Amino acid sequence: MSAVIGDQRKRTPLAEKLDLIVTPVFALLLALLGVTVWLYSDMDNTTLDILRPDRLIRQAQQTMLLGLASSALVVVIAIPIGIIVSRRGFPRLKNFLVDSLGLAQALPAYGLIVIFFTWLGAGLLTVVYALALFSLLPVLRNTIVGLEQVDKAVIEAGRGMGYTRLQVLTKIELPLAVPVIIAGVRTAIVINIGMAALAFLIGGGGLGETINSGLKLNRPAAIFLGAVMIAILAIIFDFLSALAQRFLKPKGL
């Protein structure tokens, strides 16, 4: 956990600005590379059918839905739990949750999706639940770290001003912990968008269908373009999360 805190404290305004510049540039380069492959590759009818625009749009929408829905579920679950276990009296529960979720994240995403499939059957919701469990740890851990790194003197000052525990949490601790928490959310979103490529395995759709079709039919262009689209989606949402991290951060930090 200390490494996470250290990384956050070392981020300078210049580093944050570079983050906001480099990410879209990289996405643009990937997009240009994808367009180049699309225009200049010798594609037969089978490849063109795999890469039909209406099919790619549908799959991209499914990928975004899976990534955002699972990330939203992670936020709804992990942040409240992180707040609870960061209070006094819950150190054992905190350690248990972090260790347990660490084991869950150590499982291959493919295996986790299959396990959920055996419990819940095929479909989008099964993938959402599996991805949420897989990416729960970064948000939970960063919520705990963000709250625990708040200067105790600032908290005591708030209590000295007559703040209740709830006011200390909402007006002092959470605002100061926002940069670290959103860093965990960024990680979860990127994980979920990337792992959504496996959703096709249990009928969840997504751009993994394009990659799978390319692999089965030996169409390298389809494989490459499907992978590029997934990477671009992950980069776009990482960039949007970086914007949120920058503008939600309290002034002066």
Give the CATH architecture of domain 46-248. Answer: Orthogonal Bundle (1.10)
The whole model's pTM is what?
0.82
Residue boundaries of the structural domains of the chain: 46-248
Evaluated on CA atoms 109, 180, 68, 80, the torsion sign reads: positive
The tens place of each residue's pLDDT in the chain, 253 residues long, gives 333 333 444 455 666 667 678 888 888 999 999 999 998 888 889 999 999 999 999 999 999 999 999 999 999 999 999 888 887 766 677 777 777 777 767 777 777 888 888 888 888 888 899 899 888 888 988 998 888 888 888 888 888 888 888 888 888 888 888 888 988 998 999 999 988 888 888 888 889 999 999 999 999 999 999 999 999 999 998 888 888 877 777 665 5
| Those residues with Cβ within 8 angstroms of residue 201's Cβ, 6 or more apart along the chain or in another chain | 110, 113, 114, 117, 208
Instruction: Give the CA distances from residue 95 to residues 44, 91, 175, 243, in Å, rounded to whole numbers and listed in that order.
Output: 55, 6, 24, 31
CA 4 to chain centre: 16
**Exposure b/e, 48-65, CB count within 10 A at least 16 = b:** eebbeeeebeebbebbbb
Residue that is written with structure tokens 């939203």 in the block: 72
